[in-house]
Amino acid sequence: MSEGADDDGGAGAAARSRGGSPRGDGFAPSALGTREHWDAVYERELQTFQEYGDTGEIWFGEESMTRLIRWMQKHKIPLDASVLDIGTGNGVFLIELAKFGFSNITGIDYSPSAIQLSGNIIEKEGLSNIKLKVEDFLNPSTKLSGFHICIDKGTFDAISLNPDNAIEKRKQYVKSLSRVLKVKGFFLITSCNWTKEELLNEFSEGFELFEELRTPRFSFGGRSGNSVAALVFQKTLLYSELFHPVSCKRDICCVFSTCQLGNQGLCSGLRLTTHTLWCTMPSQLACFLPQWC
């Protein structure tokens, strides 16, 4: 789907049917939210690629890829930063990243045909150091973790249209994202189903808005708006993570027993040397700690 285009084949078509939807989140369930749909799409695209060399659809158009890479350039994201493309589809964005010089990139998709298509296109481009995996992002393997940057172009949109309990699936998406992204890591999402405000709400727990990216505006019937929202979130620390022993490494720390030790040391916001699971306190948490001690 091209940006701003009125293409009824894309996820935007479902977005436009929100008004009549009986579902609580306002979306009408759609085949676009199912794995069967995407398997069929990429099987077809795989065949077309093999026959004609056509790489298939770039969701939100070329400009959406340029916008993301420009942002990474502007913020001097190191070329060896680990980047995950969630629901990579034909993998064309991975190719753009690699051509730009990014050297630690991974693409996942739950459709094996999408991963096969990505692999074939990447091979034809002569690129070798791109990692590809068949993974359901709603149930990611433990190996998928520690990313500096996660990208989503249209995947959260697709998941939102799942006919089977999409609300729960969206929550699971946010949990998976929290798991795979490093604290302070960036999440770049491009969506045509959700407005900026709605995305802020969806990702309110554990993420904060870092920047809104400019997208084309459209006007219709005397009103104007954006057909696509592109936001950059930064991962913060979840309140619940503070009490989770898994969080107790390097720059994050809090376990129940540290609170039992009282104010000394802990609430100075520095180091708690009397506990085996201590670490350095992140500065932004210091103000919350007295309540817990």
Binding site for ligand SAM (CB under 6 A): 11, 38, 58-59, 87-89, 93, 108-111, 114, 136-138, 153-155, 158-159
| Joined tokens for residue 67 | 């916008």
With respect to ligand SAM, which residue has the nearer C-beta, 138 or 285? 138
Q: How far is the CB of 232 from ligand SAM (least distance, A)?
A: 16
Q: How many CB atoms lie within 10 A of CB 219?
A: 8
With respect to ligand SAM, which residue has the nearer C-beta, 114 or 132? 114
With respect to ligand SAM, which residue has the nearer C-beta, 30 or 247? 30
With respect to ligand SAM, which residue has the nearer C-beta, 4 or 89? 89
Instruction: Give the separation between CA 276 and CA 19, rounded to whole angstroms.
Output: 55
With respect to ligand SAM, which residue has the nearer C-beta, 87 or 206? 87
Amino acid in position 179:
R
CB 120 within 8 A of CB 49: yes
Q: How far is the CB of 72 from ligand SAM (least distance, A)?
A: 16
Q: How many CB atoms lie within 10 A of CB 31?
A: 14
Q: How far is the CB of 60 from ligand SAM (least distance, A)?
A: 6
With respect to ligand SAM, which residue has the nearer C-beta, 11 or 237? 11
CB 253 within 8 A of CB 261: no
Q: How far is the CB of 77 from ligand SAM (least distance, A)?
A: 19
Pairing between strand 83-86 and 181-191? unpaired
Collapsed DSSP state (helix, strand, coil) of residue 106: strand
Q: How far is the CB of 154 from ligand SAM (least distance, A)?
A: 3
With CB atoms as reference, the residue minimizing the distance to ligand SAM is 87
With respect to ligand SAM, which residue has the nearer C-beta, 213 or 259? 213
Q: How far is the CB of 220 from ligand SAM (least distance, A)?
A: 23
* Nearest to 145, CA basis, from 41, 22, 249: 249
Alpha helix (H) ranges present in 125-212?
155-160, 166-180, 196-202
Amino acid in position 248:
C
CB 218 within 8 A of CB 230: no
Q: How far is the CB of 57 from ligand SAM (least distance, A)?
A: 6
Q: How far is the CB of 186 from ligand SAM (least distance, A)?
A: 17
- Angle value at C-alpha 155, between 209 and 50, nearest 5 degrees: 140
Instruction: Give the separation between CA 155 and CA 6, rounded to whole angstroms.
Output: 19
Question: Any idea what DSSP says for residue 252?
Answer: -
Collapsed DSSP state (helix, strand, coil) of residue 217: strand
With respect to ligand SAM, which residue has the nearer C-beta, 38 or 278? 38
* Nearest to 216, CA basis, from 204, 208, 224: 224
